[in-house]
Amino acid sequence: MKIGAHLHRIGNDIVAAYLVDTDEGITVVDAGLPGHWRDFQAELVAMGRTLADVRGIILTHGDSDHLGFAERLRVEAGIPVYVHAADADRAKGGDKPKASMGRVKVGALLRFFAYALRKGGARTRYLTEVHEVNDGDVLPLPGAPVVIGMPGHSPGSVAVHFAVADAVCVGDALTTRHVLTGKVGLQPAPFTDEPTARSIRSRGWQGLRRAGCCQGTAHQ
C-alpha cells in the first residue's frame, strides 16, 4: 500500500515492513514474518517493479518478527541485509535476553500470535550473513538511508531516516498500537529489553511528517 511519496507499506498494524521507492531502486526496511513474502511480491507488482529493483534491506533490529523474508531475499536474489552490529547476533538466532511482557490483555495477545502464526511466525528463518551498520551511517542504498541508533528495545535497535520520503522507520522503538494490550497511541512496543526506552525521549522527532512503526499504523 502506498502511504506517501516514495513510501509503501506491507503487513498491517500488528507487523509491518516498508519499501522506499526511488529512481535508483527500492530499499526495504524490515521483513515482517515469513508469510509476508507474498505480500512483498504483490506490492512490487503493484509498484510496477521486480525483485531486480530491490537494492538492499535494513532491519531495524534482530527480533524474529522483523526477519521474515530477509534471508530468503538474500539467498534467492543476492540482496544485502543490513543490521546494527549490536543486533547482528540476534538476527542470526543468537541468544536474546528474556524481556518481560508486562501487562497483557488476552484478546490482544491472541490476535498478535494468531496473526504471527498465520504469517509463518513459527518458522523463523534466521540470517546467515549480514552487513553490520552503526549509528550515523549513511547506507549506499536508494533514498540514502541514515541509520539512527535507538538502543532500548534491543541493544542494536535503529531508526532509519529517508529524507526523500520525509519519513523515519522506527521499528519497535515506538508503536501506535500495543500488540499485547491493544492500547492505542504512540508508545514503546512490547518485548522491550529496556522498557524505559531512554533513547526515544532523547531524540526529537518534531517536524517529521511520517514515523513508520513496524508494529502499528504509520503515524502521520
The footprint of Zn ion (CB under 5 A) covers: 63, 172
User: Which residues, listed in sequence order, are joined to residue 2 by a DSSP beta bridge?
Assistant: 8
Other Cβ atoms closer than 10 A to 35? 20
Q: How far is the CB of 150 from Zn ion (least distance, A)?
A: 12
- CB environment 7-28: b (16+ within 10 A), e (fewer): bbbbbbbbbbbbbbbbeebbbb
Q: How far is the CB of 177 from Zn ion (least distance, A)?
A: 14
Residue 102 or 140: the one with the smaller Cβ distance to Zn ion is 102
Residue 85 or 99: the one with the smaller Cβ distance to Zn ion is 99
Residue 44 or 133: the one with the smaller Cβ distance to Zn ion is 133
User: Which residues, listed in sequence order, are joined to residue 27 by a DSSP beta bridge?
Assistant: 20, 56
Residue 39 or 63: the one with the smaller Cβ distance to Zn ion is 63
Looking at residue 219, its amino acid is: H
**Parallel, antiparallel or unpaired: strands 25-29 and 16-22:** antiparallel
Residue 49 or 111: the one with the smaller Cβ distance to Zn ion is 111
Is residue 25 helix, strand or coil?
strand
**What is the rounded distance in angstroms from the CA atom of residue 212 to the CA atom of residue 200?**
14
Residue 27 or 192: the one with the smaller Cβ distance to Zn ion is 192
Q: How far is the CB of 172 from Zn ion (least distance, A)?
A: 4
8 Å CB contact between 156 and 196: no
Q: How far is the CB of 153 from Zn ion (least distance, A)?
A: 6
What residue number has its CB nearest to Zn ion? 63
Distances (CA, A) of 195 to 11, 106, 158, 189, 214: 25, 20, 15, 9, 17
> Minimal CA–CA distance to 11: which of 130, 167, 160, 169?
169
Q: How far is the CB of 100 from Zn ion (least distance, A)?
A: 14
Q: How far is the CB of 2 from Zn ion (least distance, A)?
A: 25
